[in-house]
Structure 1
Amino acid sequence: VGGTAMYFKALAQGISDLPSADPATRAQIEAEAAERGWPALHAELEKVDPEAAARIHPNNRQRIQRALEVWRMTGKPLSAFWADEQGYMGGHASWDAHSLAGVPWPVISIALAPHERSVLHRRIEARFDQMLAQGFEEEVRRLHARGDLNPELPAIRAVGYRQMWSYVVGETDLATAREKGIIATRQLARRQLTWMRQWPDVQWLYSEDGVDTNYQRVIEILKQTGKIV
């Protein structure tokens, strides 16, 4: 799960000290993949880093490439960097007093979401329809017309883009692309909520309560934690 949640976690706990990408190593991995296929490289990853391989799909070439790149550059499996990060793949130490990253401020976790899942689903559907009304199809058609993009790229594999790309290239109709895009967005939202519920000491606000109620709730949380009087 990426996006805002990962940015917040990086601010609160820091991120692994992973090496920067190396063009030469990546080019070598790409060449091997072209010859042997990504599933074969995934099998190689299983030998050197079984934990990472268990978490990475055999067709997820971006993550396979990164895991092998880290191993070849450092001799250290990617899963070891995850362990160093103290909870990247699950299980969070408390950051009630100060963050694990050593930043000079206390961290208060506040999450906002609809209380009822049906509300979230309606909003997701409305948002996707708004995207379509505002030219989402035309945007993806322009991206396809560039000629230098393909459906395996991370940007095109993103939720919504992947489904609309399938429609633009004639693999499905618009109604099906819309339905699959909405379903994929719901699945992403569920994963995000599940991930956020694992945060220590998280305080939940509910969008149905309105701005004024939630504002007062934030003030109460800050008073309870001693951040304001």
Structure 2
Amino acid sequence: MGPTASGKTALGCALSERFPVDLISVDSALVYRGMDIGTAKPDQATLARYPHRLIDIRDPAEPYSAADFRADARAAMQEITAQGRVPLLVGGTGLYFRALQHGLSQLPEADPALREQLSAEAATLGWPAMHLRLAQLDPTAAARIGANDAQRVQRALEVIALTGRPLSEQQRGGSGERFPWRVLKLALLPTDRAPLHERIAQRFDTMLADGFLDEVRALRARGDLHVDLPAIRAVGYRQAWEHLDSQSDAAEFRDRGIFATRQLAKRQITWLRGELDARAFEPERPGLLEHAEQALQLFLGSPG
């Protein structure tokens, strides 16, 4: 586990060279086909050498939920385990990790009237103001939800209004079902964010040079995609979509994309710090691979 651009994929691939593990992607953007450059999806050569499950399994027009991931990941884990190998889950989508291990809490169904009311308020006040309201009611949920993530802000406020309880508190409850695998959590958790921020900026510039905007143009040309879909709300894609709608110039688009990615990393780090049973590793630390190998060796060598 780790924030975006922290080196998770490279570490996962390196570990698969040494141990009998099969890789499963835990990333809410990598599931979508045709979204390769802006998601920093491993290239075809990497995927051919190090196959990842749960990459390119959905069309961007089809939403993919934490419940979908939980079902797909458990099926993949069962298949890998039956083959005498070990599932190695690699990614940064904390909600997916939590749903997989702890299940999904029974949240209330959507209330159309309440949603319409919240949307009307947002039309007047703006979603950042609605996010500030959420921060007062549920700071934990607000810390992991972006200020402009309209769908998730609306859902969190809706759940609070319907139940009188914070969304984060209810999500911690889980399903109560026992998770049937032993777990070792390896977290790439930087203590100094400056190198991470530099890598984020460098990677975004590389994406632009590799044709990210052309990729988004191709998605727009389909005609069936829009900014309210989860795929297009992915970090970078929303900012590119708005730029192509002439809502920002090239420099502003770059700044917005990098800022949004840094904010994502900040939320991911906040979530990881709450994973108290995780083994934390400094991504910049020399010998990272060796230390991760030692931890995994001890885990696999322990009795089941």
User: What TM-score does the superposition give when structure 1 sets the normalisation length?
Assistant: 0.65
Q: CA deviation at 1:122?
A: 2.3
Q: How does 1:40-79 map to 2 (within 5 A)?
A: 51=137, 55=142, 61-63=150-152, 66=155, 76=163, 79=166
Say if 2:118 and 2:154, in contact at 8 Å, map to a contact too: no
Inter-partner Cα distance in structure 1 for 2:153 and 2:283: 38
Pick from 261, 276, 289 the counterpart of residue 211 of structure 1.
289
Inter-partner Cα distance in structure 2 for 1:228 and 1:112: 26
Seen in structure 2, the aligned counterparts of structure 1 residues 63 and 189 have a Cα distance that, compared at 3 Å, is closer
Question: Could you give the per-residue CA deviations for residues 150-196 of structure 1, whole angstroms, max 9, x where no partner exists?
Answer: 44444333211122123212222222211221121112101111111
Pick from 165, 169, 172 the counterpart of residue 86 of structure 1.
172
**2:23 equivalent in structure 1:** none
Inter-partner Cα distance in structure 2 for 1:33 and 1:87: 26
Q: CA deviation at 1:68?
A: 7.9
**2:302 equivalent in structure 1:** 227
**1:125 equivalent in structure 2:** 201
Say if 2:189 and 2:272, in contact at 8 Å, map to a contact too: no
Pick from 159, 180, 194 the counterpart of residue 256 of structure 2.
180
Pick from 93, 114, 120 the counterpart of residue 4 of structure 1.
93
Say if 1:12 and 1:100, in contact at 8 Å, map to a contact too: no
Pick from 74, 99, 104 the counterpart of residue 15 of structure 1.
104
Q: CA deviation at 1:30?
A: 7.1
Q: CA deviation at 1:216?
A: 1.8
* Greater CA drift, 139-148 or 171-180: 139-148
Inter-partner Cα distance in structure 2 for 1:159 and 1:179: 13
Say if 1:67 and 1:77, in contact at 8 Å, map to a contact too: no
Q: How does 1:133-148 map to 2 (within 5 A)?
A: 133-148=209-224
- 3-state SS in 2 of match to 1:86: helix
Inter-partner Cα distance in structure 2 for 1:200 and 1:86: 14
Pick from 260, 266, 270 the counterpart of residue 194 of structure 1.
270
- 3-state SS in 2 of match to 1:111: strand
Q: Using the aligned pairs only, state the percent identity.
A: 42
Find the structure with the greater CA-based Rg. 1
Inter-partner Cα distance in structure 1 for 2:283 and 2:244: 35
Inter-partner Cα distance in structure 2 for 1:179 and 1:57: 16
Say if 2:105 and 2:173, in contact at 8 Å, map to a contact too: no
Structure 1: tracts of 5 or more residues without a match:
43-49, 89-98
Inter-partner Cα distance in structure 2 for 1:205 and 1:58: 29
Say if 1:206 and 1:214, in contact at 8 Å, map to a contact too: no
Say if 1:163 and 1:180, in contact at 8 Å, map to a contact too: yes
* Greater CA drift, 185-194 or 174-183: 174-183
**1:170 equivalent in structure 2:** 246
Question: Could you give the per-residue CA deviations for residues 115-155 of structure 1, whole angstroms, max 9, x where no partner exists?
Answer: 54222122212221222222210121223334444444443
User: What TM-score does the superposition give when structure 2 sets the normalisation length?
Assistant: 0.51
Which structure has more helix as a fraction of its residues? 1
Inter-partner Cα distance in structure 2 for 1:31 and 1:143: 29
Inter-partner Cα distance in structure 2 for 1:60 and 1:116: 27
